[in-house]
């Protein structure tokens, strides 16, 4: 069995302001083995990005803080780690790709210099050596070495995202956090970038946490899927299992809201309602106000994470508290 | 002809649009600054003044500082007269006439330019460096440090500039160094506020977050990623600030608190010429014109820079 690289246990992150406390992440647990890739899927505001920022220790100060739980990266707890250690880990062992390639490059430096900077920050290398390696990285992501001296605004969106990926992979990290890396790109470029990420990931045996609201993107690149909602992972398991047969009503709702070519439907079937305000989460199951299967008990009792086969689900239907009406409708 | 692989079309960001030659940011800036004819004229005027200040000893090697030529007092514009120079007498052309001590007005203006240029650059450089670092620290770290720095700046701003400079010079005694110090200190708070405001807008951009995510130290992030992106308004303000500093210096000298006569300085030239405004207007008009042209030129450059560096006015 593969060694677990990243183990997150009961992670809770709050944003504390003078007026209110926003519970952005409420008891998230997952594990990731070396070389594996996990897709975290959820709506805007579900706490996906916050989880990633917590892993890197980059929660906005002073409002954001980890209130409990642990993030073990090769058995080191990143929550407790001092800033100095985190700085060595960032970019070197864990890298992050940000959502918008348009703004995640510094407009006044050449792309070559920006890739070289990552190498210089973490390695004692000469200027020529780091520039040479920056050129290698650019070629790796399919951009000719000759364009190293150009500025970000001379690149198209897809190429910028490739530069960002080159930066993230420059120090050959063991874990890559990708925060909606393709959201700002159009569909054809999206496919290109995803293909490239997948091949690079396999080449370097890098683990990947892919954050996305797009089930299709996750399907293309991930082995595992975590469905996140209002700061909790409602369903976690192998990608094929989750996609083939959703166990949680929310997962099912997500799939129902995707337009499909093989079914003749007049309208999409979105999940009714909105995600709850994370500063005022509903009692009981966080999803119950929107859940088509919800019963009286859902309002009172908070579901625990229940193991079903190789998956974990947070729903009372699997705790024997209520009848599993979902299974019945699916036949 | 460029193939599409080499020069991709970048929709939305304006660069690399087919048919439009690509320019580096500096080339773009130069092109836009060059289109502003007044700003270019201002730049030319300043360059001439700087050249003249540098070569003051070449143009007027003689002692126009203390060399009184009483017999030639108030010599008219373009008049020829004999001057005494180290026990010898020689002919001299007073291009802009002579002042009440018979000293060459043009010579004193040229030597005075040296003082004014130095004051302009040194005080602004000092204020930008000190005010800029304080502002950057306040904007980047926030919290108590920010409160401390910003309230300090507010206090400085609450005292009228010239009054504050006056107080410093009066306390420390009139000398060139004290003049520089007084003017520098009074111009600091502007840069503190300006840099802090720019840092606040830049530090939340994603590339700063990305720099943090590659494990860069705060110092590196501020110096390499934040500050260079804040420079445009600072450059504009600094240019206008040079004009302000020169004006303050001439004013203090006029009041007798800056450069002390007989050293030539535009402010003290005005002050010395004041009683003769009717009888010998040239002793007053030309130093006044020198001040006016320099200040005007710096302001024109400042406006030109503002237009050239402002991305919103991009045409």
Longest dimension (CA), chain A: 67
Q: To probe the interface with B, which of A98, A101, A120, A156 has the most B CB atoms within 10 Å? A: A156
| A138/chain B closest Cα distance in angstroms | 14
B10 to A108: CB separation less than 8 angstroms, yes or no: no
State which H helix or E strand residue B83 sits in. Answer: strand B79-85
Coil, strand or helix at B90 = strand
CA-nearest residue of chain B to A91? B214
A287 compared with B82, residue with greater pLDDT: A287
User: Which of A91, A98, A108 faces B228 most closely, judged by CB atoms?
Assistant: A108
Question: Is A211 in contact with A38 (CB distance < 8 Å)?
Answer: no
Q: Are A248 and A303 in contact (CB under 8 A)?
A: no
| Token pair belonging to A73 | 């990266």
pLDDT at residue B67 in the model: 63
**Nearest C-alpha of chain A: how many angstroms from B192?**
23
HSE value, Cβ hemisphere, 13 Å, CA-based, for B169:
27
Contact B22, B16 (CB under 8 A): yes
Chain B window 21-50: which residues touch A at a Cβ cutoff of 8 Å? 22, 24-25
Do A99 and B206 lie within an 8 Å CB cutoff?
A: yes
For residue B17, what pLDDT is reported? Answer: 44
- Summary mean pLDDT of chain A: 88
CA dihedral A160, B141, A47, A81 (to 10 degrees): 100
Q: What is the ipTM of this complex?
A: 0.82
Q: Which of A87, A99, A109 minimises the CB distance to B215?
A: A87
DSSP classification of residue B205:
S
**CB distance B215–A88 less than 8 Å?**
yes
Distances (CA, A) of A94 to A75, A123, A220, A251, B81: 14, 15, 22, 29, 82
Spell out which residues of chain B touch residue A113, defining contact as CB-CB under 8 Å: none
Q: What is the mean pLDDT of residues A35-60?
A: 91
Q: Which residues pair with B79 in a beta bridge?
A: B94
**Chunked in runs of 10, what are the mean pLDDT values of chain B (315 residues)?**
40 43 74 91 95 86 64 79 74 83 87 91 96 95 93 92 89 90 93 95 90 90 91 91 92 88 87 90 92 94 87 53
Give the number of other Cβ atoms within 10 Å of residue A184's Cβ.
Answer: 19
What are A236's strand-pairing partners?
A226, A312
Q: Where are the alpha helices (DSSP H) in B204-230?
A: 206-213, 218-220
Half-sphere exposure of residue B62: CA atoms within 13 angstroms, side-chain side:
20
A169 touches chain B (CB under 8 A): no
Whether the predicted pLDDT of A233 surpasses 60: yes
Q: Is B204 on the interface with A (CB under 8 A)?
A: no
The helix (run of H) or strand (run of E) holding residue B31 is: helix B25-35
- If you count residue pairs, one on A and one on B, with CB atoms under 8 Å apart, how many are there? 87
**C-alpha A313: how far from its chain's center?**
18
Conformational region of residue A205, where left means phi above 0, alpha means psi within -120 to 50, and beta covers everything else: left
- DSSP strand pairing (A37-42 vs A207-212): parallel
Instruction: Kindly list the residues from chain A whose CB atom is less than 8 angstroms away from the CB atom of residue B8.
Output: 155-156, 159
**pLDDT for residue B101:** 84
Nearest 5°: CA angle at B237, between B235 and B239?
70
| CA angle (B115 as vertex; B192, B49 as ends), nearest 5 | 95
pLDDT in tens, A123-136: 889 999 999 999 99
- Alpha-carbon distances of A41 from A51, A119, A225, A235, B235, rounded to whole Å: 12, 31, 7, 10, 46
- pLDDT tens digits along B80-111: 877 776 677 777 788 888 888 888 888 889 98
Whether B59 contacts chain A with CB within 8 A: no
pLDDT tens track for A17-33: 888 889 999 999 999 99
pLDDT reported for residue A39: 94
Tell me which residue in A88, A106, A153 faces B207 most closely, judged by beta carbons.
A106
Q: What tokens does A322 get?
A: 């209520």
Residue A60 token pair: 């906005």
Task: Please state, in angstroms and rounded to a whole number, the distance separating the CA atoms of residues A137 and A163.
Answer: 9
- Secondary structure string (H, E, C) spanning chain A: CCCEEEEEEEEEEEEECCCCEEEEEEEEEEEEECCCEEEEEECCCCCHHHHHHHHHCCCCCCCEEEEEEEEEECCEECCCCCHHHHHHHECCCEEEECCCCCCCCCCCCCHHHHHHHHHHHHCCCCHHHHHHHHHHHHHHCCCCHHHHHCCHHHCCHHHHHHHHHHHHHCCCCCEEEEECCCCCCCHHHHHHHHHHHHHHHHHHCCEEEEEECCHHHHHHHCCEEEEEECCEEEEEEEHHHHHHCCCCHHHHHHHHCCCCCCCCCCCCCCCCCCCCCCCCCCCCCCCHHHCCCCCHHHHHCCCCCEEECCEEECCHHHCCCCCCHHHHHHC
What residues of B are in contact with residue A91 (Cβ under 8 Å)? Answer: 213-216
Please give the Cα distance from A135 to A143 (Å, whole number): 9
- pLDDT surpasses 60 at A108: yes
| Residues near B294 by beta carbon (within 8 Å), at least 6 away in sequence | B45, B46, B49, B113, B116, B243, B246
pLDDT at A328: 55
Record the pTM. Answer: 0.80
Residue recorded with tokens 């190498």: A119
Distance between CA B87 and CA B84 in Å, rounded?
Answer: 6
In 3D space, the residue among A160, A159, A156, A166 whose CA is nearest the CA of residue A115 turns out to be A166
Q: Provide the 8-state DSSP code for B62.
A: S
Domain B38-313 has CATH 1.10.3720.10: yes
Q: CA-to-CA distance for B72 and B196, rounded, in angstroms? A: 55
Given a cut of 80, whether residue A331 has pLDDT beyond it is: no
Nearest Cα residue to B296 out of B244, B237, B255: B244
Q: In 3-state terms, what secondary structure has residue B20?
A: coil
Least confident window among A296-310, A313-327, B37-51: A313-327
pLDDT, position B300: 94
- Compute the nearest-CA separation of A102 from chain B (Å): 9
Sign of the CA dihedral running B231, B236, B239, B243: negative
Minimal CA separation from B43 to chain A, in Å: 25
Answer whether A326's CB lies under 8 Å from A249's CB. Answer: yes
The minimum CA-CA distance between B304 and chain A, rounded to whole Å, is: 21
Task: Tell whether B3 is within 8 A of chain A (Cβ).
Answer: no
CA–CA distance, A326 with A318 (Å, rounded to integer): 10
Asked if A108 is an interface residue toward chain B (Cβ–Cβ < 8 A), one would say: yes
**What does the alpha-carbon distance between residue A236 and residue B168 come to, in Å, rounded to a whole number?**
70
Report CA torsion sign: A93, B216, A213, A315.
positive
Task: Count Cβ atoms within 10 A of the Cβ of residue A112 and give its class: 0-12 exposed, 13-18 middle, 19 or more buried.
Answer: buried
Average pLDDT for A49-76? 91
Domain ranges of chain B: 38-313
Q: With bands split at pLDDT 50, 70 and 90, how would you rate the model's confidence at A216?
A: confident
Residue A105 in tokens: 């490059």
Dig out the tokens for A95 from the structure: 């890298």
The pLDDT of residue B231 is 87
The answer for A321, left when phi > 0, alpha when psi is -120 to 50, beta otherwise, is: alpha
What's the CA gap between B191 and B131, in Å, rounded?
Answer: 5
């Amino acid at each position: 069995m593969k060694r677990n690289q990243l183990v997150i246990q009961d992670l809770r992150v709050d944003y504390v302001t003078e007026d209110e406390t926003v519970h952005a992440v409420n008891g998230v647990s997952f594990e990731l083995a070396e070389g594996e890739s996990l897709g975290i899927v959820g709506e805007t505001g579900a706490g996906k990005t916050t989880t990633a920022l917590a892993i890197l220790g980059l929660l906005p100060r002073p409002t954001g803080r980890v209130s409990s739980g642990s993030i073990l990266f090769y058995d080191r707890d990143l929550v407790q780690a001092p800033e100095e250690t985190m700085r060595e880990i960032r970019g070197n062992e864990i890298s992050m790709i940000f959502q918008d390639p348009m703004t995640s490059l510094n407009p006044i430096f050449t792309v070559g210099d920006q890739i070289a900077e990552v190498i210089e920050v973490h390695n004692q290398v000469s200027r020529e050596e780091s520039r040479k390696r920056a050129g290698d990285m650019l070629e790796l992501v399919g951009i000719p070495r000759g364009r190293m001296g150009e500025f970000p605004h001379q690149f198209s969106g897809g190429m910028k995202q490739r530069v960002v990926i080159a930066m993230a992979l420059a120090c050959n990290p063991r874990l890559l956090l990708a925060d909606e890396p393709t959201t700002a790109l159009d569909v054809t470029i999206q496919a290109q970038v995803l293909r490239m990420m997948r091949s690079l990931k396999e080449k370097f045996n890098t683990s990947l946490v892919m954050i996305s609201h797009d089930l299709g993107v996750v399907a293309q690149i991930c082995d595992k899927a975590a469905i996140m909602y209002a700061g909790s992972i409602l369903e976690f398991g192998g990608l094929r299992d989750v996609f083939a047969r959703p166990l949680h009503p929310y997962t099912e709702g997500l799939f129902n809201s995707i337009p499909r070519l093989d079914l003749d439907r007049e309208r999409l079937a979105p999940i009714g309602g909105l995600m709850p305000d994370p500063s005022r989460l509903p009692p009981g199951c966080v999803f119950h106000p929107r859940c088509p299967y919800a019963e009286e008990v859902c309002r009172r009792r908070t579901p625990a994470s229940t193991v079903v086969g190789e998956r974990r689900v947070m729903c009372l239907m699997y705790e024997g508290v209520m009848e599993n009406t979902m299974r019945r409708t699916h036949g | 002809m460029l193939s599409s692989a080499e020069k991709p079309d970048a929709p939305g960001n304006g660069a690399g649009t087919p048919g439009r030659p690509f320019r580096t940011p500096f080339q773009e800036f130069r092109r836009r600054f060059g289109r502003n004819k007044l700003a270019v004229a201002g730049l030319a005027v300043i360059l001439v003044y700087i050249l003249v200040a540098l070569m003051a000893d070449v143009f007027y090697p003689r002692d126009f500082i203390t060399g009184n030529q009483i017999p030639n007092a108030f010599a008219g514009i373009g008049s020829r007269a004999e001057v005494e120079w180290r026990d010898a007498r020689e002919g001299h052309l007073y291009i802009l006439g002579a002042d009440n001590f018979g000293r060459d007005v043009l010579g004193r203006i040229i030597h005075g330019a040296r003082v004014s240029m130095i004051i302009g650059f040194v005080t602004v450089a000092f204020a930008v460096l000190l005010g800029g670092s304080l502002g950057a620290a306040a904007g980047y770290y926030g919290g108590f440090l920010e409160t401390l720095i910003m309230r300090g700046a507010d206090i400085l701003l609450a005292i009228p500039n010239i009054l504050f400079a006056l107080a410093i010079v009066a306390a420390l005694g009139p000398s060139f160094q004290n003049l520089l110090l007084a003017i520098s200190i009074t111009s600091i708070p502007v840069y503190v506020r300006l840099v802090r405001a720019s840092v606040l807008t830049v530090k939340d951009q994603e590339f700063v977050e990305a720099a943090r995510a590659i494990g860069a130290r705060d110092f590196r992030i501020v110096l390499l990623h934040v500050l260079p992106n804040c420079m445009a308004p600072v450059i504009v303000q600094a240019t206008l600030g040079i004009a302000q500093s020169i004006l303050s210096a001439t004013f203090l000298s006029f009041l007798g608190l800056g450069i002390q006569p007989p050293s030539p300085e535009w402010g003290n030239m005005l002050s010395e010429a004041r009683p003769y405004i009717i009888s010998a207007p040239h002793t007053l008009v030309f130093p006044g014109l020198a001040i006016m042209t320099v200040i005007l030129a710096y302001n024109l450059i400042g406006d030109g820079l503002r237009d050239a560096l402002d991305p919103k006015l991009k045409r």
